[in-house]
Amino acid sequence: MRADQIEFKGSRRGLAAILLRGYALMVVTLGFYRFWLVTQKRRYYWAHTHIDGDALEYTGNAVQLLVGFLLAVAIFVPLWGLFFYLSTQGSEATLLGYAGAGVVLWFLTGYAIFRARDFRLSRTLWRGIRFDLEGNAWGYAFRRFFWSILLVVTLGLIYPLMAADLWRYRYNNTWWGDQRFLMRGRARNLAGPYFACYAIVAVFVLGMIGVLEGVLSNRAQMSDEALGELVFAGGGCLLFLWLVVGIYRAIEISRMASSISIGNIRLRLKLHWGDLLILQIQFAVALALAYAVLAFGGYVVLGTVAPAAFADGFDPARLAVALQNSYLVLLAIVFGYLLVLATFTLCVDLFLAMGFWMLIASSLRVGGAAHMSSVKARPEDGALAGEGLADALNVGAY
Amino acid sequence: MRAGARYHDGRTAAVHDVDVFISPGAVTILERETSDVISVWDKAKVYPVYSSEGHLRIGTEEMSSGARLIFTGRHVDAVRAALPALARHRMMRKRQQMRIAGFGTLALVSVVAGYIFGIPLLAERLVAAMPPEWEEQVGETVADQIEVSFAGSEGGVFERCDPDPDSLANRAIRRFTDEVMSQGSTPFRVDVAVMRSDIPNAIALPGGQVYYFSALLEETRTADEFAGVLAHELGHVEHRHGMEQLISTAGTGALIGFILGDLTGASVAAGIGSAMIDTRFSREAEREADRFSAAAAGRLGYNPAAFADLLDRVSQEDGYGSAFALLSTHPLTTERRETLQALAEEENEATAPFTKSEWRAIRAMCSTGSDAP
């Protein structure tokens, strides 16, 4: 192993064991166990990630997350009340309420992302020295909010400025001990690839809109076959655009991360879009296989507890009747529903999230870590109570 | 005993290669190259930190939170054996966490129980305190939403079958409605509308609006069945069940959001879950509406159990009907028919609720010329 390498020693099997046990306990505790599960998951990721021979350590605990969640509930309860009241005040007020709630949530998401990042960093140790995030979460929320308005107004053209600014705000406020992270990435580093991708996407989208309009106006003359071919081609275009976006994402992350330094340490990240694509394909295949197994299992179980529904071909109405008359059928369906939900999150965790973490670990180089022995610790950051809003809004992976 | 280890002092990022001596009282840490003593830890105050397989990571309560000793490979088991405080600390922490999780879950269970039993009661109280104008406003909103969803899904308009308020059918329905409600105390201007829709159902909105869908009217064979359904829905109006249901659905959605940790409440799970829990509440409401209908039947001279015939027929002939009933309103049980029958026993000297010509007019409300009976 080279000195500047990051090594991830975890495995899908190891994480799956933690997750499956956690899901089972979540059922028993009505979901209350999730704070413990998140904590265990992070401990696993952190402890298995070795940088220059030393593992990261996650020092957070479940009770901190629980407290944060309760604080978030305190914020949300009056919002619910307001929203419920608005929804009783006629259709316009309801629409206005939805729109308002959407805007407020979008704004709060920025705050939540920053706070969650602060929580995780300030509970991460490497070589006994804590990371930290300074800066103001509300400030970040405002920045992100106003950038996103500009983004809409300029039809996305402002994106490189926005991305570079937000990356800089996040990283220039990040500390390891008494060393501040320094990020030199600028919008011009993103502009080339961004506008190239933007042009491709714009051409395709405009083309697709044109074709769609043509189809709508000539609907009568079109044969079903020609229509089918067009739908097929449209699907192909969307997949291609997905790929273009993936390529850009890989370039943005690589260029921005590679412009970061911490004292003598230089980060270099070479993320290849093909690897990102492989992640997504792995996820899709795993999910499809898992769901095929679940569907077969569901067929067998429901066929046993509610044979009437499958008497001659499947009939949802007869299943509904069986559901009303038998707690066993109800139990089977609720359990099946939980299984479908759990399978999805399991696949996301094992293939998308862990895959991405492993990819970053294997593509990131940390040059100069050996010369950092004089970095000093800073005093505790005790002000943070959990990351409740992030938990509540369901942002922030890992 | 003696073991090699890596040491972080928690003050600087320097990594020390050290030799560790564990004596009966203390853990002594020596720089390997110079053999200088860097630190001495109290053996009783060390604690383990989670680490990957084959590693043992320990900290001490005496020092800054970042100070760590890291053992690897063959030393791990020996160090564990020499430091019983590690296992003790681990057990203690585990018990503490289990206690918190256990009590938390108990608290959650009682909150859920409180919700399930308390929300219907609370909803009833809240509704009683709610100004009728407000509920009418809510009713209009709900009606708008229903109109939008029906117009959207069927590609047509959601409209009254017979828009003329002074037609024979509409006058008959209004007279029946007034007679049924005359014994009640509803603050609302009650309006019954027969609406064009493929769904065999009848619904009572908050604020006094009742919809009887054309698909149900087609299934309705006798005036008794029609009167039974109407009186039942008017019972919902009298007891303000629509508003109660709305409040308790909002409450249950909030609870499920709380459990799943998704406070935006946008998750599909919340919707399905609240629909399932709320069926229980709505069955209570159905019984109340049945009693109301049976009481009216005594005065107005129809058989309230005919209503059960119609429900059975709709649910058997039309699969959608039963699936619909599952998630929303009507529990189709033989028990219910028996209850209705028992309530109906006491009647009845009164005349029929509708005359023959009135009933014919009502039956024909939604028929377009050619297929009129």
Q: What is the pLDDT of residue A303?
A: 81
Cβ contacts of residue A251 below 8 Å, gap of 6+? A190, A193, A273
Residues of B in contact with A32 (CB under 8 A): 101, 104-105, 108
Tell me which long-range contacts A222-226 makes (C-beta under 8 A, separation of at least 24): none
The yes-or-no verdict on residue A163 having pLDDT over 70 is yes
Residues of B in contact with A80 (CB under 8 A): 250, 254, 265
The yes-or-no verdict on residue A172 having pLDDT over 90 is yes
How far apart (Å, rounded) are the C-alpha atoms in residues A211 and A9? 50
Taking each helix axis as running N to C, give the angle between helix B84-129 and helix B241-260, from 0 to 180 degrees, rounded to the nearest 10: 170
How far apart (Å, rounded) are the C-alpha atoms in residues A329 and A381? 52
Q: What is the pLDDT of residue A324?
A: 60
How far apart (Å, rounded) are the C-alpha atoms in residues B71 and B75? 6
Q: Mean pLDDT lowest for which of A235-249, B72-86, B201-215?
A: B201-215
Chain A nearest CA to B219, separation (Å):
18
The yes-or-no verdict on residue A241 having pLDDT over 90 is yes
Q: What is the pLDDT of residue B53?
A: 87
Pick from A58, A62, A91: CB nearest B141: A91
Given pLDDT bands bounded at 50, 70 and 90, which one contains residue B350? Answer: low
Contact A91 B254 (CB under 8 A): no
User: For chain B, what percent of residues have pLDDT higher than 70?
Assistant: 78
Chain A nearest CA to B93, separation (Å):
11
- Each residue of B111-141: pLDDT tens digit? 878 777 777 777 778 888 888 888 888 788 7
How far apart (Å, rounded) are the C-alpha atoms in residues A22 and A29? 10
Q: What is the pLDDT of residue A345?
A: 92
Pick from A47, A54, A380: CB nearest B50: A47
Residue scoring higher pLDDT (A301 or A188):
A188
Tokens of A354: 């862990």
Mean pLDDT across B283-301: 80
CATH architecture of B2-82: Roll (2.30)
Q: What is the pLDDT of residue A343?
A: 94
Chain A nearest CA to B159, separation (Å):
18
Burial class for A116, CB neighbours closer than 10 Å (0-12, 13-18, 19+) = buried
The yes-or-no verdict on residue B304 having pLDDT over 80 is no
Identify from A15, A18, A30 which residue to disrupt to test chain B contact, counting B C-beta atoms within 10 A and taking the largest count: A30
Q: What is the pLDDT of residue B262?
A: 56
The yes-or-no verdict on residue B358 having pLDDT over 70 is yes
Residue scoring higher pLDDT (B302 or A277):
A277
Of A322, A350, A393, the closest CA to residue A19 belongs to A350
Mean pLDDT across A145-153: 96
Contact A88 B138 (CB under 8 A): yes
The yes-or-no verdict on residue A32 having pLDDT over 70 is yes
Residues of A in contact with B61 (CB under 8 A): none
The yes-or-no verdict on residue A386 having pLDDT over 90 is no
Domain boundaries, chain B: 2-82, 111-368
How far apart (Å, rounded) are the C-alpha atoms in residues B10 and B163? 82
Residue scoring higher pLDDT (A182 or B120):
A182
Residues of B in contact with A175 (CB under 8 A): none
Tell me the HSE value of B75 on the side-chain side, using a 13 A CA sphere. Answer: 19
Cβ contacts of residue A328 below 8 Å, gap of 6+? A305
Contact B100 A62 (CB under 8 A): yes
- Each residue of B141-153: pLDDT tens digit? 777 777 776 665 5
Q: What is the pLDDT of residue B110?
A: 86
Q: Mean pLDDT lowest for which of A312-321, B154-163, B264-273?
A: B264-273
Q: Which residue has the tokens 């919700």?
A: B115
Given pLDDT bands bounded at 50, 70 and 90, which one contains residue A65? Answer: confident
Pick from B97, B104, B137: CB nearest A88: B137
Contact A316 B319 (CB under 8 A): yes
Cβ contacts of residue B265 below 8 Å, gap of 6+? A80, B253, B254, B256, B257
Contact B269 A341 (CB under 8 A): yes
Q: What is the pLDDT of residue A387?
A: 54
Q: Mean pLDDT lowest for which of A283-297, B56-70, B299-313?
A: B299-313
Domain boundaries, chain A: 69-122+135-172, 186-258
Give the highest mean pLDDT range of A163-172, B203-212, B278-287.
Answer: A163-172
Q: Mean pLDDT lowest for which of A138-152, A224-238, B331-345?
A: B331-345
Q: What is the pLDDT of residue B278?
A: 44
Mean pLDDT across A101-108: 85
Q: What is the pLDDT of residue B355?
A: 86
Residues of B in contact with A55 (CB under 8 A): 51-52, 55, 57
Q: Which residue has the tokens 């309103």?
A: B329
Complex confidence, ipTM: 0.81
**What is the count of residue pairs from A and B with beta carbons less than 8 Å apart?**
159
Given pLDDT bands bounded at 50, 70 and 90, which one contains residue A395? Answer: very low
Q: What is the pLDDT of residue B126?
A: 81
The yes-or-no verdict on residue B372 having pLDDT over 50 is no
Q: What is the pLDDT of residue A122?
A: 87
Residue scoring higher pLDDT (A11 or B139):
A11
Give the number of other Cβ atoms within 10 Å of residue A243's Cβ.
15
Q: What is the pLDDT of residue A316?
A: 67
Residues of B in contact with A315 (CB under 8 A): 319
Pick from A28, A57, A126: CB nearest B49: A57
How does DSSP classify residue A129? E
Pick from A105, A324, A373: CB nearest B326: A324
SS3 for chain B is CEEEEEEECCCECCEEEEEEEECCCEEEEEECCCCCEEEEEEHHHEEEECCCCCEEEEEECCCCCCCEEEEECCHHHHHHHHCHHHHHHHHHHHHHHHHHHHHHHHHHHHHHHHHHHHHHHHHHHHHHHCCHHHHHHHHHHHHHHHHHHHHHHHCCCCCECCCCCCCHHHHHHHHHHHHHHCCCCCCCCCEEEEECCCCCCEEECCCCEEEEEHHHHHHCCCHHHHHHHHHHHHHHHHCCHHHHHHHHHHHHHHHHHHHHCCCCCCCHHHHHHHHHHHHHHHHHHHHHHHHHHHHHHHHHCCCCCHHHHHHHHHHHHCHHHHHHHHHCCCCCCHHHHHHHHHHHCCCCCCCCCCCHHHHHHHHCCCCCHHHCC
Mean pLDDT across A7-28: 93
Contact A372 B101 (CB under 8 A): no
Cβ atoms of A269 and A254 within 8 Å: the answer is yes
Q: What is the pLDDT of residue A56?
A: 95
Contact B141 A84 (CB under 8 A): no
